[in-house]
Structure 1
Amino acid sequence: MGEEVHLGLPGPWAEDYREKADHYTTKIGGVPDWPKEDLGIEPELLQCGLCGTRLCLVAQVYAPLAKLNIEERTLYVLVCPTPKCSHNPQSWKVLRVQKCLSGMQTNGKEDVLLQRKERVCSNEPAPSSSVGEHKEESNSLNRNDDDFDLDALAEALEQAATLASSTKKKNKSKRANNVPTKCAVVKEKVNDLTIPVLPCFYIYYDKEQSRGKSNVCSSSKETVLEEDILDMGNDEEEKWEGEKYEYDSAPGADRTFLKFKKRLDAYPQQCFRYSFAGKPLLAATNLRDVGTCKLCGSPRQYELQLMSPLSYFLHQAGDGSSSCAPNAWSWLTLVVYSCSKSCCPSSCGAKPGNCCWGVVEEEIVMQEDEACNA
């Protein structure tokens, strides 16, 4: 069975780019939603390593890990808003913020991306984030079915069915429009104007098709191709000759880039890809060593990567209401590597009876579009 890859797709635009949410919210741009006001973040972690300018948020991804029994965990991807710096990898940072609990143990469950409190819009039900979440809830019901009021359970299931139907219709509308839509409700906003902000929109999830399957989205006429083109020979209905890459007819082509482009074209709205301990979708083969965790010495592993459509959607919102813009970005993908053990980034060391928040900087690798830099 292949790895699960969760795709971050554009949901509605924020009414105000400085509006507050919480650390459970997955979004692009806006202001960082820290889990608490005083996290004790060192000032240099929020400053550009080249010019010292205050960094702005590019992506905030709520990323709990069921396998490690860590639910309070969020990744923040930041960049210098200055055009002269933002094309340089040293101006990008990734912070892992998580709550350190005592007695953390592996429970043997598959790593999944849970979105229990995904915020899209207060007047719109949040879309389902992953299959894993429903599995967790189902298991919980099975373990505690003796404690449930059956009438209450029936009522809850009826409400869930209504919510799912409503969410499906709204998600279909989002896909058809192919761009984020404006959220109608104004939320509380951050009044600190010293924090630079990119245009803000929220994210909903879809799971990338597994190898050997294809999917056609009738609303946007997007075709999801099989990962291995040779497997398409037995099914005439899945042959899309215009989309196939003929490696034999292009002997000078870069296979790594062609594979990258094929999977990007399959979901042209993907703003990021998530698969903890999975394999990154690389645009080039030259990848530097990402080293080990600064805190515990464990090897780093792939977790997340930003994709170039993210820049497109941010450009679409260039109405002057944000204090920075992605004008100097020329990268194809930004790949984030994190501690394979997701170690406790705090001085409490997960001692019995202690519970605190910690912050640690992880590693990010930039792969650029060489044609733009030529």
Structure 2
Amino acid sequence: MGEIILGMPGPWAEDCREKADHYTTKIGGLPDWPTPDLGMKDDLLHCSVCGRNLCLVAQVYAPISFPKLNLEERVIYILGCPMPKCGGDPRSWRALRVQKYHSEMQLDNNGQVAKPLEEDSAPISKTNNYVEEDSSITGSGREEDESDSDMDLQEFARALSEAASLASQSKKQSTSKHSGSTVRAMATKPRVNSPSIPVVPCFYMYSQKEQSTADKDTICASYSSLSIKEKQNTATDTEDEEKWEGETYEYDTALGADRTYLKFKKQLDAHPEQCFRYSYGGSPLLATTDLAECDTCKFCGSPRNYELQLMPPLLYFLHEAAEGSSAYSPDGWSWMTLIVYTCSKSCCPAFCGEKPGSCCWGVAEEAIIIQNE
């Protein structure tokens, strides 16, 4: 917590409707659902203002890890309505948290993480029983029993090794536990034929840690001092002209300026291509002081935490890429930032308790707060 990860623009997709996977962090295109059977309600994918299909704005692979909770299969989808009259209305936006909850991660009635089920230890006990039963089946001498047991054990170990190898090949690897951590080579991706779903231009993201405040202040100070020296040298060469008095400009001391906005602009100027900011449990970068109150989780009643926010450069890239293409142009989107709050416990919105040892995918709608100009 506290660490800020910036989503920076990577390569453009060859086709806006090309297929990827849910481990991929990207802007635009079609949502890559982890499984077709999510049990998602239809109204979550439709605009509450005009009733049309929503389009994907951002897909962020966002695993989290805590002492009692470790979720690798977790994605945040941000959807918006591309219609010009709907873009500024909060009802035309959706933030969906999609995650896979194993049985040992389920919540009890009090919203707490349940203890691991006993069935999790079953594979070990079964293995031991398998070895013991094999060693007692034959009625031959002890040496034959031991050799047969060793052979069975070797075969079993080989089977486990092959299974582990297949699992490691199928499991997607991530270079970081934070959002935007997965950057993939997008060559020859298959196209998905979904003409009814609107799309905005698609490009992929890579992550970058934001510099500390001290580092940015040092850089800004060096730029200011350099500017002053250059102007002073110019003044000495032109003595007949009006003498320039050096002065420094600071965002926080601008007369009559909104300090909240100036801080927002200062952070934006430090990384002018940032499309989103991610800091699970951190603090949002506000564009205005007018911040709507965020409600609690609809499933477990826990307070929601800040997780990520979309930034203005995202709109610029989408506008530029939409010209002359078949993709939608976000003409009605003029927000300064779009902030997403998610359940602080990342609770499971589905119920898998009826099937011990099973796991399931769950979909939860989270809160979005829009700050306009």
TM-score (norm 2): 0.71
Equivalent residue, structure 1, for 2:190: 188
How many Å apart are 1:321 and its aligned residue? 2.9
Equivalent residue, structure 2, for 1:348: 352
Tell me which amino acid in the other structure corresponds to 2:29.
G
How many Å apart are 1:330 and its aligned residue? 1.1
Over 3 Å counting, the alpha-carbon distance change for 1:308 and 1:102 in structure 2 is: same
Quick one: which of 225, 241, 250 aligns to 1:245?
A: 250
User: Are 1:30 and 2:29 an aligned pair?
Assistant: yes
Identical aligned pairs, as a percentage? 57
Q: 3-state DSSP class of the match of 1:66?
A: strand
Quick one: which of 262, 267, 273 aligns to 2:266?
A: 262
Tell me which amino acid in the other structure corresponds to 2:311.
M
- Aligned counterparts, 1:301-340, within 5 A: 301-340=305-344
Partners of 1:350 and 1:288 in 2: CA distance:
39
Q: 3-state DSSP class of the match of 2:208?
A: strand
Tell me which amino acid in the other structure corresponds to 2:319.
H
Q: 3-state DSSP class of the match of 1:258?
A: helix
Partners of 1:10 and 1:103 in 2: CA distance:
37
Q: 3-state DSSP class of the match of 1:358?
A: strand
Over 3 Å counting, the alpha-carbon distance change for 1:263 and 1:100 in structure 2 is: same
How many Å apart are 1:312 and its aligned residue? 0.5
Partners of 1:66 and 1:114 in 2: CA distance:
13
CA contact (8 A) 2:7 2:180 kept: no
CA contact (8 A) 1:101 1:350 kept: no
Partners of 2:95 and 2:354 in 1: CA distance:
22
Q: 3-state DSSP class of the match of 2:86?
A: helix
Where does the alignment leave 5 or more consecutive residues of structure 2 unmatched? 106-112, 115-175, 229-247
Name which of structure 1's ranges 97-106 and 72-81 shifts more when overlaid on structure 2.
97-106
Quick one: which of 353, 365, 368 aligns to 1:361?
A: 365
How many Å apart are 1:315 and its aligned residue? 1.1
- Aligned counterparts, 1:42-191, within 5 A: 42-67=41-66, 68-104=69-105, 112-113=177-178, 118-122=182-186, 185-191=187-193
Provide, for residues 129-185 of structure 1, a one-character-per-residue CA deviation record: whole Å limited to 9, x for no partner: xxxxxxxxxxxxxxxxxxxxxxxxxxxxxxxxxxxxxxxxxxxxxxxxxxxxxxxx3
CA contact (8 A) 1:57 1:77 kept: yes
Partners of 2:263 and 2:180 in 1: CA distance:
29
Over 3 Å counting, the alpha-carbon distance change for 1:275 and 1:12 in structure 2 is: same
Equivalent residue, structure 1, for 2:201: 199
Tell me which amino acid in the other structure corresponds to 1:63.
A
Question: 4+ residue stretches of structure 1 with deviation over 6 A?
Answer: 240-243
Partners of 1:113 and 1:84 in 2: CA distance:
34
The aligned length equals: 284
Tell me which amino acid in the other structure corresponds to 1:270.
Q
Provide, for residues 226-247 of structure 1, a one-character-per-residue CA deviation record: whole Å limited to 9, x for no partner: 69x8xx6xxx678576895254
Equivalent residue, structure 2, for 1:212: 214
Partners of 1:28 and 1:295 in 2: CA distance:
28
Tell me which amino acid in the other structure corresponds to 1:368.
N
CA contact (8 A) 1:300 1:339 kept: yes
Q: 3-state DSSP class of the match of 2:48?
A: coil
Partners of 1:332 and 1:286 in 2: CA distance:
12
Tell me which amino acid in the other structure corresponds to 1:121.
A
Partners of 1:73 and 1:346 in 2: CA distance:
14
CA contact (8 A) 1:60 1:76 kept: yes
Over 3 Å counting, the alpha-carbon distance change for 1:194 and 1:266 in structure 2 is: same
Return the structure number with greater helix share. 2
Over 3 Å counting, the alpha-carbon distance change for 1:281 and 1:226 in structure 2 is: farther
Over 3 Å counting, the alpha-carbon distance change for 1:114 and 1:89 in structure 2 is: closer
Tell me which amino acid in the other structure corresponds to 2:92.
S
Over 3 Å counting, the alpha-carbon distance change for 1:40 and 1:244 in structure 2 is: farther
How many Å apart are 1:112 and its aligned residue? 4.6
Over 3 Å counting, the alpha-carbon distance change for 1:89 and 1:239 in structure 2 is: farther
How many Å apart are 1:97 and its aligned residue? 0.3
Tell me which amino acid in the other structure corresponds to 1:285.
T
CA contact (8 A) 1:57 1:198 kept: yes
How many Å apart are 1:324 and its aligned residue? 1.5
Partners of 2:288 and 2:354 in 1: CA distance:
39
Q: 3-state DSSP class of the match of 2:85?
A: helix
Equivalent residue, structure 2, for 1:41: 40
Over 3 Å counting, the alpha-carbon distance change for 1:244 and 1:341 in structure 2 is: farther
CA contact (8 A) 2:5 2:179 kept: no
Tell me which amino acid in the other structure corresponds to 1:48.
C
Partners of 1:272 and 1:317 in 2: CA distance:
18
Over 3 Å counting, the alpha-carbon distance change for 1:12 and 1:350 in structure 2 is: farther
Q: 3-state DSSP class of the match of 1:317?
A: helix
Partners of 1:290 and 1:349 in 2: CA distance:
30
